[in-house]
């Protein structure tokens, strides 16, 4: 189901853990949607000196977190802000379609951690973790039928391709 790169990052995840003196923390998802990801940043001179993650989720969620930390480490804050979920999926040589939808949250978590870093710098109170709804809207730009993987319009209740009624599971 997963390609070699994804399996490698899943089985040997890089940068797992917590940074005790992190100056930026981002958290996305919740167990309701299956995946939850926390990113810890240590920013020095506007560069990501260290990055670690903790993830509750499926194989692709763990691989995404691991790959994200590899892409982001050493980058300037300005450059890190430009990393997208798509970049992470591409670096992993692709993810299954239904996983693109549900577990590709890495860049979202990174951006939240950067926001937290900037808020702290500005003396603001730390932002609350994003709730499920927010995550699904900011992230769910494309929906796929859970049965046949065909792209669907948002909020479709019926898949024309496989005649599935999606009212309760989409």
The residues annotated with a catalytic role in the active site are 33, 102
Q: How far is the CB of 123 from other proteins (least distance, A)?
A: 26
| Buried residues in 86-118 as b, exposed as e (16+ CB within 10 A) | eebbebbeebbeebbbbbbbbbbbbbbbbbbbe
Closest C-alpha among 59, 53, 151 to residue 107: 53
Q: How far is the CB of 118 from other proteins (least distance, A)?
A: 22
Residue 53 or 117: the one with the smaller Cβ distance to other proteins is: 53
Burial (0-12, 13-18, 19+ Cβ within 10 Å), 37: buried
Separation CA 28–CA 110 (nearest Å): 9
Residue 78 or 158: the one with the smaller Cβ distance to other proteins is: 158
Residue 47 or 149: the one with the smaller Cβ distance to other proteins is: 149
Chain contacts with other proteins (rule: CB under 8 A): 2, 7, 10-11, 13, 16-18, 27, 31-38, 54-62, 98-99, 101-103, 146-147, 165, 169
Q: How far is the CB of 55 from other proteins (least distance, A)?
A: 6
In contact, 17 and 54? CB cutoff 8 Å? yes
Residue 16 or 77: the one with the smaller Cβ distance to other proteins is: 16
In contact, 41 and 128? CB cutoff 8 Å? no
Q: How far is the CB of 169 from other proteins (least distance, A)?
A: 5
């Amino acid at each position: 189901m997963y390609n070699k790169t994804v399996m490698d990052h899943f089985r040997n995840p890089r940068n797992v853990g917590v940074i005790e003196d992190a100056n930026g923390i981002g958290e996305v998802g919740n167990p309701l949607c299956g995946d939850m990801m926390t990113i810890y940043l240590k920013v020095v001179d506007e560069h990501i000196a260290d990055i670690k993650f903790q993830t509750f989720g499926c194989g692709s969620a763990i691989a995404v977190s691991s790959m994200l930390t590899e892409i982001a480490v050493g980058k300037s804050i300005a450059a890190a802000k430009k990393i997208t979920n798509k970049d992470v999926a591409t670096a992993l040589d692709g993810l299954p379609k239904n996983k693109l939808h549900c577990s590709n949250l890495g860049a979202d978590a990174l951006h939240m951690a950067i926001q937290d870093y900037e808020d702290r710098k500005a003396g603001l109170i730390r932002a609350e973790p994003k709730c499920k709804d927010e995550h699904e809207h900011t992230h769910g730009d494309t929906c796929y039928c859970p049965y046949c993987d065909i792209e669907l319009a948002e909020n479709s209740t019926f898949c024309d391709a496989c005649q599935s009624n999606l009212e309760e599971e989409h």
